Structure 1
Amino acid sequence: MNQRPLILVSNDDGVDARGIHALAEGMRLLGDVFVMAPDGPRSGMSSAITTTQPITYRVLSEAEGMTICSCSGTPTDCVKLAVSEVLDRKPDLLVSGVNHGGNEALSVHYSGTIGAAIEGCVLDIPSLGVSLVHYRSEADFSEAVRLAQRVAKDLLRNGLPHGTYLNLNVPNTPHVKGLTICRQADGRWIREFDRVSTPDGSPAFRMSGEYLNYPPIQPDNDTQRLSEGWASIVPCLLDVTHHAFMNELKSRGLDDAAAR
């Protein structure tokens, strides 16, 4: 009854990234922190899992209220391993990040940082992904950590509905206007690759791209709110069923079970 909350922290930038160390220290004020993060960068891994080789981990440091471990697997592997095999009790909260770069709009489907939050949600742990819209190494994570603390306090107190996790993105500004609840922007990436030269002259491409919203642009989408200086919170669901479309598909005669 007197135990401090147990907070599991992970990311996709790797255990040595500045963002995760800032986040872990911030979460330490709210509970006992256990970090299980990849041993190197795993950006863009989404919810990938390792199935072809064993996964290992090692303890890097232990201190009062803080244990830091590295894992050879993906962000999702990190969460699975920590909860299933390493920790002696279920975490009260999972926080993933702070990601070096935004995970707004469609990036939610690609991000390993969000993949870790999704896995926490799968395991029925209140889960939060945190990203800063800044890609350079000298990024200031203080505002992202402050806002993550605020959301984490609420989740420890009130939890989340089953199958729901939160995606928090913070704009790169010293004075964020505050938090706003909004929707995922609807759009796609265009001009996704830059051509790069190779020694033998063969074609090679580096991922780049520009995000373009589909019209009509809803004023409460996350990319819009971030551009206005707000930190965006998008509540996300594990269930990707398009429930409203089910009846239309049935009306097309594709549901043999319904016809019996």
Structure 2
Amino acid sequence: MRILVSNDDGYFAPGIAALAQALSEIGEVTVVAPERDRSGASNSLTLDRPLSLRRAANGFHFVNGTPTDCVHLAVTGMLDHLPDMVVSGVNHGANMGDDTLYSGTVAAATEGYLLGVPSIAVSLVSKGASDFSTAARVARDLAVRFMNQPLRQPMLLNVNVPDLPYEALRGTRVTRLGKRHKAEPVIKSVTPRNETVYWVGAAGAAADAGEGTDFHAVSEGLVSITPLQIDLTHTGQIGMVNDWLVR
């Protein structure tokens, strides 16, 4: 099994090292990740300059671009064979609810999916995590399951793992995305040169976090697995907008 691994925290992040190690036990792993932290890069592609691909001392490859660039470059130009799976992570922090729209971790997996490769994004729900072994082991479990029982349809899964020992996990649950409140206000400050700058505020608290959501599953000690799709069409409004235009 050939597995392409990427992330948005950078090729040096402990989460990707743990993930690559766990997946190397079941297949041939190639790591292509950003040269620096690109959290929040979403699905952006670099089109205004060329990309460079380099190899680090640990064998990981890194790109001076976004997570999407990394997977796109690997699948369409670097690798001799299409990978059997793309696994992105392990992200340091949750990617639940609205987070998925901004997440570079999810974006890397999404790019694999768009290129025809079954893909999984894996995140550890913790702000101060230092042990990524549980999430990496969950990713390996899912890869093994896919290897033995491939899904009949293209697969893009968003996986969020509680920050618990593997043995303490209460199982898995297939969920829908919850929803957060609006983000906190931007933080205004002044530089030593007397320039006003702004930091994007923290994500809001969970608003829709009831039974069946990713937020609820993780709070119960369960691994949340959310199948994602790419079609953004609001089919319920097609008729309404059509009527609005012809009036």
CA distance, structure 2, for counterparts of residue 181 and residue 28 of structure 1: 26
Q: From 186, 190, 194, give the equivalent of 2:183.
A: 190
Give 1:237 deviation, angstroms: 0.1
CA distance, structure 2, for counterparts of residue 187 and residue 82 of structure 1: 33
C-alpha distance after superposition, 1:17-75 (max 9, x if no partner): 0000000001101110000011111111001111111101012257xxxx521111111
Aligned to 1:111: 103
Percent of counterpart pairs with the same letter?
38
Aligned to 2:23: 27
Q: Is 1:141 aligned to 2:132, yes or no?
A: yes
Q: Is the 8 A contact 2:6 2:32 kept in 1?
A: yes
From the superposition, tell whether residues 114 and 192 of structure 1 become closer, same or farther in structure 2 (CA, over 3 Å). farther
Q: Is the 8 A contact 2:32 2:63 kept in 1?
A: yes
CA distance, structure 1, for counterparts of residue 66 and residue 15 of structure 2: 17
Q: Is 1:101 aligned to 2:93, yes or no?
A: yes
The total of aligned residue pairs comes to: 245
CA distance, structure 1, for counterparts of residue 88 and residue 114 of structure 2: 14
Q: Is the 8 A contact 1:105 1:186 kept in 2?
A: yes
CA distance, structure 1, for counterparts of residue 123 and residue 228 of structure 2: 15
Unmatched segments (≥5 aa) in structure 1: none
Q: Is the 8 A contact 2:89 2:105 kept in 1?
A: yes
Give 1:158 deviation, angstroms: 3.5
Q: Is the 8 A contact 1:193 1:208 kept in 2?
A: yes
TM (normalized to structure 2)? 0.90
TM (normalized to structure 1)? 0.86
- Letter paired with 1:166: L
Q: From 46, 50, 68, give the equivalent of 1:50.
A: 46
Q: Is 1:158 aligned to 2:149, yes or no?
A: yes
CA distance, structure 1, for counterparts of residue 116 and residue 148 of structure 2: 15
- Letter paired with 2:135: A
SS in 1 for 2:245: coil
Unmatched segments (≥5 aa) in structure 2: none
Q: Is the 8 A contact 1:10 1:35 kept in 2?
A: yes
CA distance, structure 2, for counterparts of residue 188 and residue 116 of structure 1: 25
Aligned to 1:207: 200
Q: Is the 8 A contact 2:67 2:108 kept in 1?
A: yes
- Letter paired with 1:31: G
Listed as ranges, the matches of 1:1-260 within 5 Å are 5-61=1-57, 67-136=59-128, 139-160=130-151, 162=153, 164-174=155-165, 175-214=168-207, 218-250=210-242, 252-254=243-245
Output the aligned Cα RMSD: 2.1
CA distance, structure 2, for counterparts of residue 12 and residue 163 of structure 1: 23
CA distance, structure 1, for counterparts of residue 51 and residue 234 of structure 2: 35
